[in-house]
Amino acid sequence: MADIINITQASFKQQVVESDVPVLVDFWAEWCGPCLRMSPILDQLAEELGETARIAKVNIEEERMLAAMFQVMSIPALMVFHNGEKVAEFSGVQSKETLKQKLESYA
């Protein structure tokens, strides 16, 4: 099972930009109900995708600069990165199938 990675400003470049597989980044906060509903979906996604894609989380309360850099206005905000570029963005709770299909299209 692939683990979900917690991303900080210091690790963003290495873990996301320089990744050799697509990365889904979840911008979230502990007080956000919809964010908490996404958590088990992301766990399942990480398990199903294994090493073909990476799932990462950014706590916007702890990483305000990253949230500002990507203009996160509402959470959960989910962004797919491939070859160092943001290629897709979703807002709000998404289905596992929607996210899996998008990630697999870049794998």
Per the annotation, the verdict on 56 as an active-site residue is no
Tokens of 83: 């070859």
- Of these residues, 4, 23, 35, 41, which one is catalytic? 35
In the block, residue with structure tokens 């989380």: 57
Per the annotation, the verdict on 107 as an active-site residue is no
Q: How many CB atoms lie within 10 A of CB 10?
A: 9
- Of these residues, 29, 32, 36, 93, which one is catalytic? 32
Q: What is the rounded CA–CA span in Å between residue 39 and residue 57?
A: 10
Q: What is the rounded CA–CA span in Å between residue 47 and residue 57?
A: 15
Q: What is the rounded CA–CA span in Å between residue 1 and residue 10?
A: 25
Q: Which residues belong to the active site?
A: 32, 35
